[in-house]
Structure 1
Amino acid sequence: MSAWDYAQCAYGEIECAYLLDTCPYCRASLNQLDPDMDDGRFGYFTEVWVGICQLCGWWNARGEARERVDAHTEAVYELGSFGVLKNLDLKNIETPLQEVRDYLTVKYDDRLQMDPQLFERTVGSVFGDHGYEPQVTAYSHDGGIDVILADDETRIGVQIKRWKNRIEAEQIRSLMGAMVQAGLTRGMFVTTSSFRSGAFKTADRYTSLGRPVTLVDAPRFFDALGFSQTRVDRSTGAWITKIRPHLKKLGAFSDINEGRFYED
């Protein structure tokens, strides 16, 4: 599955996004993948190029065929396809996490529309790419620990709030209470908004007492998301498979009858 749907256009149309070599969303250079021309699924196309954005998964592809018209003229036919962002259901907790991550990379403002439990799972997934083993705890509304991040040296209790309002000192004290109850000595508070000065002061005080608390606001989590996206395997084997149905559509357009003509 992918956060991207399918669009296609022929050479000369205005929306020739398949010609881009950078992502129109992230402005990152596209990774060029090997589409495996040997299996014949591209019809009469003799060359096919596939590019994918490492950060958000946006992709494009184009196929080109050359046909000798006469002794002095060659026709070049070209058709392309590219990804169009889906209207992802962020209220459904079963939405695949990689789709959610790709979607948020492009439309981060929509984080406030997410189901709170889906956001918790997404946070766990993101920090899982930072070297931790995430464990999403049983979902509840009691203000407890939402995710535990573990590595070889420590366990971190994470409280996650998908809020518009800024986080107060009271919420940091609540996190500390949950940490003590769970027997944890390190904490992290992740929010879709930001923190008031009292929250920073409270976290600093706990840190000075040997119980460090890390505060992750919306911009900082977006940075963490960006790093985790660089760890996604978007190599040929993993992602050609995901966009294979779209490449098959590209190969099906073997009856286009317009082209660019070149004389020898």
Structure 2
Amino acid sequence: MDELLERLRTGTPSFFEKVVVDLMVAMGYGGDVEEATGVLGRTGDGGVDGVIKEDVLGLDMIYVQAKRWANSVMRPEIQKFAGSLEGMRAKKGVFITTSTFSNGAREYVDMIEKKIVLIDGEQLVDYMFRYGLGVSPSETFVVKRVDEDYFAGSE
């Protein structure tokens, strides 16, 4: 997992944005990759990197902030993101980083009315493993048992 996180931290910003879009789509957001591609970095920023559909129909939107950082994300960054959401009349946001969130940042999202999900680097690579993004199986282990149906007529 450390190797995957390091690859994310040393990749280009555009690659990191691609990873975020691919992950959101793999998780069921944004319709398909073609529809969701390019959503990051297109809102004129304003404290938000992009917008993605919450569902295939686009009944609600999720605002996304993606930070490829090494240092911990502190409360002021989350407050800026929450303020940007307020300015766009948005109710939901996801803040994804390759680093960690400070306790103050985590406490802040618990106190506010807006729903902001914080995904740190460790959670990010966990989701990548879970949804098969950027990883491939290296071994498969098969456990075999006696097929009772095969031997049913032998007695």
Q: TM-score, normalised by structure 2?
A: 0.70
Alpha carbon RMSD of aligned pairs, Å? 2.6
C-alpha contact (below 8 Å) 1:124/1:147 kept by paired residues: no
The equivalent residue for 2:28 is: 131
C-alpha contact (below 8 Å) 2:40/2:64 kept by paired residues: no
By percentage of residues, which structure has more strand? 1
* Shift in alpha-carbon separation, 1:149–1:139, aligned structure 2, 3 A: closer
The equivalent residue for 1:205 is: 111
Aligned pair 1:155/2:61, yes or no? yes
Larger Rg: 1
Letter in 2 for 1:127: M
Q: TM-score, normalised by structure 1?
A: 0.43
The equivalent residue for 1:113 is: 10
Question: What is the aligned counterpart of 1:227 among 130, 139, 149?
Answer: 130
Question: What is the aligned counterpart of 1:183 among 78, 86, 89?
Answer: 89
By percentage of residues, which structure has more helix? 2
Aligned partners of 1:167, 1:190: CA distance in 2, in Å? Answer: 10
Aligned pair 1:168/2:71, yes or no? no
Q: Which stretches of structure 1, 4 residues or more, deviate above 6 A after TM superposition?
A: none
Aligned partners of 2:10, 2:106: CA distance in 1, in Å? Answer: 26
| Structure 1: runs of 5 or more not aligned | 1-103, 235-264
- Give the C-alpha shift of residue 111 in structure 1: 1.5
Aligned partners of 1:214, 1:225: CA distance in 2, in Å? Answer: 16
SS at match of 1:229: coil
Number of matched pairs: 126
- Give the C-alpha shift of residue 160 in structure 1: 0.8
The equivalent residue for 1:48 is: none
Q: What are the within-5 Å matches in structure 2 for residues 1-264 of structure 1?
A: 107-133=4-30, 134=36, 136-138=39-41, 142=45, 144-150=47-53, 151=55, 152=57, 153-206=59-112, 209=113, 211-229=114-132
* Shift in alpha-carbon separation, 1:157–1:142, aligned structure 2, 3 A: closer
How many percent of aligned residue pairs carry the same amino acid?
27
- Give the C-alpha shift of residue 139 in structure 1: 5.3
Aligned partners of 2:25, 2:108: CA distance in 1, in Å? Answer: 27
SS at match of 1:195: coil
| Structure 2: runs of 5 or more not aligned | 31-35, 138-155
The equivalent residue for 2:144 is: none
